[in-house]
Amino acid sequence: MSSSLQATYIEDVIKNSLREKFKNYKPETSNMPFHFRLLGKDRMALYSFIQSLNTTFGTSIFEPVAVALAKQKFKDAKRRVVVGIEISEEAHKVIQMIIDNLITARQEPNKENEIELIRNVCRTGQITKVKPTEVDVLVEDHDGTIFLFDIKTAKPNIGNFKEFKRTLLEWVAATLANNPKKRVKTAIAIPYNPYEPKPYERWTIRGMLDLKEELFVANEFWDFLGGEGSYEELLNCFERAGIELRQEIEEYFSKFK
């Protein structure tokens, strides 16, 4: 992150997203008399709000902030993108072969090799219509390379990484079906490390993802998008936005006392 103007814009994205959440948020109406007496309705409302916010943090805050950061450094950045609606029959087979080999540990993940295997058959056989998962954030570099990110919660279910891997490979296949020579990279982005100061527990997914190419955690993701130091400055943006919104937050939850 290089400019105060950019920081101001990002703080506005954060504040506007939270204000929009306040405007549309309806607390759960379930009666919890013991919790209410013990903690107070305002604290329970805040707890419920935080849980609700967690489910929308990716789409309402992380995605627009990521695009804002990347537009300063890259040629282009977009969110919520469908990269293609066709995949070749042979690409489907290659993707399944890659997944099977990873599950059975016959091969270790190697994203560059996997991309080339798909590229070789990206237009081979019958071309089928598909509905791939939307790309959360697409970033295009000045050399034409595109980076497709799937933003996940800080502690994704380890059992889901097989499907995460399939999504990343299908994005490659759909992109190459449109343009077989396109330079494309796909990855999972995890916005922060919940284990900090300990390292992120990468070993649990080593057999499925190419950790150097397919997993960006915390500063790896934000510094990639905005340049070195962007992660720390982004945390500062959140802090400044929170300080500015503090009075509004207190007034909002005082209604539940």
Task: Report d(CA 153, CA 160) in Å as an integer.
Answer: 12
What does the pLDDT average to over 4-30?
Answer: 82
CA-nearest of 63, 29, 47, 222 to 150 is 63
- Asked whether 153 and 79 are in contact (CB, 8 A), the reply is no
Give the per-residue pLDDT at 202: 74
Angle between helices 219-226 and 230-254 (to 10 degrees): 110
pLDDT in tens, 199-239: 887 766 778 999 999 999 999 999 999 999 999 999 999 99
Token reading at 166: 């399939």
Give the per-residue pLDDT at 204: 67
58 pLDDT band (50/70/90 cuts)? Answer: confident
pLDDT of 20 higher than 90: no
Task: Report d(CA 89, CA 123) in Å as an integer.
Answer: 8
Q: How far is CA 226 from CA 20, 80, 87, 136, 190, in A?
A: 26, 19, 32, 17, 16
Residue 133 host element (H or E): none
Give the per-residue pLDDT at 4: 74
Q: How far is CA 200 from CA 108, 112, 132, in A?
A: 20, 23, 28
Give the per-residue pLDDT at 229: 93
Task: Report d(CA 38, CA 55) in Å as an integer.
Answer: 26
Peptide bond into 197 cis (omega under 30): yes
Name the DSSP letter for residue 199.
Answer: P
DSSP codes joined into one string, 8-74: HHHHHHHHHHHHHHHHH--------HHHHHHH-HHHHHHHHHHHHHHHHHIIIIIHHHHHHHHHHHS
Give the per-residue pLDDT at 179: 96
Task: Report d(CA 189, CA 238) in Å as an integer.
Answer: 19
What does the pLDDT average to over 101-120?
Answer: 96
- Asked whether 90 and 121 are in contact (CB, 8 A), the reply is yes
Average pLDDT over the chain, rounded to whole? 90
Interstrand relation of 76-81 and 135-140 (parallel, antiparallel or unpaired): antiparallel
Name the one residue in this structure whose structure tokens are 């990484």: 161
pLDDT in tens, 152-206: 977 777 678 889 999 999 999 999 999 999 999 999 999 999 888 888 877 667 7
CA-nearest of 10, 8, 9 to 222 is 10
Q: Which residues lie below 8 Å from residue 41, measured CB to CB, with a gap of 6+?
A: 256, 257
pLDDT in tens, 80-106: 999 999 999 999 999 999 999 999 999
Q: What is the pTM of this model?
A: 0.89
